């Protein structure tokens, strides 16, 4: 039997403790520790997952692929709580043309009040023109119910081309860029925010470097420029296999806005550390 012992950074652990604090009155016999550990393992597993090339059709298998996950819980008594989560990752590749669809839906209700009701989607088409050059078109967006009748939606459609600068077993660097159009709607909100419809331009870079066996450096950068704001997302990560049983990943996520919303800082940095130990 293989067992896995997972550790995470202090920030992630405190977040997990904060989540379970609500259920302290009835923690015995509810499996709260099991549920919390499952969430921690899922989060750490997602953190360690890194595709070698997140652009183009490189390495894709022919035909359909994907997965669908559904999770829900309902509680009643001192509080009535409902949580529903649905995730889908679907794709198809015919050897030249590739299609990908990602969907994520979350719903949460407590004592008749909806805390979350949101959907996020991302559809992308990719076509290889050569071993290094490819084209793409994408549609992505989200819709969030802020309050009853208040809906915040954001949609981006764009197209462009990409090029694999390096493509070896140890070093891969791919860039892609193209124009797009963004539409944001603030239906029903009384904050005075106006709808946004504007052109945009997006540039993305995906870098992967296997420094040595068991050591991987990656950096993913996205820049989306428009009249209202230019935003930069950057994820820098170093994953190190300390031994056959022990792996360590450190990451720094940065989000920068040239024109942040009123009262908000222009830069957010998130530092993460994940440690996984597996033993038989």
**What is the full DSSP assignment across 114-164?**
EEEEEEEEEEEEEEESSSSEEEEEEEEEEEEEEETTEEEEEEEEEEEEEEE
DSSP class of 25: G
d(CA 98, CA 91) in angstroms, rounded, equals: 7
pLDDT at 194: 57
pLDDT tens by residue, the chain, 280 residues: 444 443 333 333 333 333 333 344 444 444 556 666 666 676 666 666 665 556 667 767 889 988 888 888 888 877 788 888 888 888 999 988 999 998 888 888 887 788 888 888 889 999 989 888 999 999 988 888 766 667 778 888 999 999 999 888 889 999 999 999 988 776 654 444 557 788 989 999 999 998 888 888 999 998 988 888 888 989 999 988 887 778 888 989 898 988 876 677 789 898 988 887 766 5
Q: Give the predicted TM-score (pTM) of the model.
A: 0.68
pLDDT at 148: 60
pLDDT at 4: 40
Residues 6+ apart with CB under 8 A from 78: 25, 26
Domains of the chain listed by start with CATH number: 3-279 (2.40.160)
Nearest residue to 10 via CA among 276, 280, 277, 272: 272
Q: In whole angstroms, how far apart are CA 98 and each of 20, 91, 129, 256?
A: 42, 7, 12, 31
pLDDT at 36: 66
Helix (H, G, I), strand (E, B) or coil at 20: helix
Residue 69 β-bridge partners:
87
Helix (H, G, I), strand (E, B) or coil at 19: helix
């Amino acid at each position: 039997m293989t067992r896995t012992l997972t550790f995470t950074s202090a920030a992630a652990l405190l977040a997990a403790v904060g989540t379970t604090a609500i259920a302290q009155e009835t923690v015995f016999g509810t499996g709260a520790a099991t549920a919390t550990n499952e969430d921690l393992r899922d989060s750490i597993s997602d953190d360690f997952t890194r595709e070698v090339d997140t652009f183009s059709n490189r390495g894709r298998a022919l035909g359909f692929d994907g997965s669908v996950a559904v999770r829900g819980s309902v509680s009643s008594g001192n509080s009535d709580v409902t949580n529903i989560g649905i995730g889908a990752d679907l794709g198809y590749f015919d050897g030249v043309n590739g299609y990908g669809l990602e969907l994520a839906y979350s719903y949460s209700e407590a004592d008749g009040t909806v805390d979350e009701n949101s959907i996020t989607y991302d559809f992308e088409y990719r076509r290889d023109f050569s071993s290094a050059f490819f084209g793409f078109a994408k549609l992505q967006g989200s819709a969030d119910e802020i309050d009853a009748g208040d809906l915040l939606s954001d949609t981006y459609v764009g197209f462009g081309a990409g090029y694999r600068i390096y493509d070896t077993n140890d070093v891969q660097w791919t860039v892609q860029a193209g124009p797009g159009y963004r539409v944001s709607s603030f239906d029903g909100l009384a904050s005075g925010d106006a709808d946004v419809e504007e052109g945009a331009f997006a540039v993305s870079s995906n870098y992967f470097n296997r420094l040595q066996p068991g050591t991987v450096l990656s950096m993913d950068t996205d820049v989306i420029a428009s009249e209202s704001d230019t935003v930069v997302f950057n994820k820098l990560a170093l994953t190190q296999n300390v031994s056959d049983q022990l792996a360590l990943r450190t990451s720094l996520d940065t989000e920068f806005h040239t024109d942040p919303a009123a009262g908000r800082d222009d830069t957010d940095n998130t530092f993460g550390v994940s440690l996984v130990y597996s033993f038989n």
